[in-house]
């Protein structure tokens, strides 16, 4: 299991009150592990809600928080730093 999957699983366990059926969510995730491209149909199946918050100015930069609520499990908080490391990126997309 990849380190990203371990972090995801650990985070889901700590937020037990937010999700209703982890097994169904994991089935969806496994179904789309090796997708060549994210399209609207896949996004609609994996994400139940996208929340775009009001912009906030910090350190002279405007930042907008975006919350993704996954199907079956709700919002999963993954530390941005850990996400970047697992994707080998230095900056957020």
Residue 21: both structure tokens together: 């059926």
Q: 73 in a domain, yes or no?
A: yes
Query: pTM of the prediction?
Result: 0.51
Q: 93 in a domain, yes or no?
A: no
Q: 13 in a domain, yes or no?
A: yes
Q: 25 in a domain, yes or no?
A: yes
Over residues 26-65, the pLDDT tens digits come to: 888 888 888 889 899 998 998 899 999 999 998 889 999 8
Q: 46 in a domain, yes or no?
A: yes
Q: 76 in a domain, yes or no?
A: yes
Q: Which of 66, 56, 61 is nearest to 93 (CA)?
A: 66
Residue 41's domain comprises 3-87
| Longest distance between any two alpha carbons in the chain, whole Å | 43
Total count of domains within the chain:
1
């Amino acid at each position: 299991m990849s380190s990203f999957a371990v972090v995801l699983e650990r985070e889901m366990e700590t937020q037990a009150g937010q999700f209703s059926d982890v097994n169904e969510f994991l089935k969806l995730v496994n179904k789309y592990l090796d997708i060549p491209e994210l399209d609207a149909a896949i996004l609609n199946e994996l994400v139940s809600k996208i929340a775009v918050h009001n912009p906030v100015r910090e350190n002279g930069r405007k930042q907008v928080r975006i919350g993704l609520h996954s199907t079956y499990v709700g919002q999963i908080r993954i530390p941005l730093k850990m996400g970047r490391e697992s994707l080998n990126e230095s900056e957020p997309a």
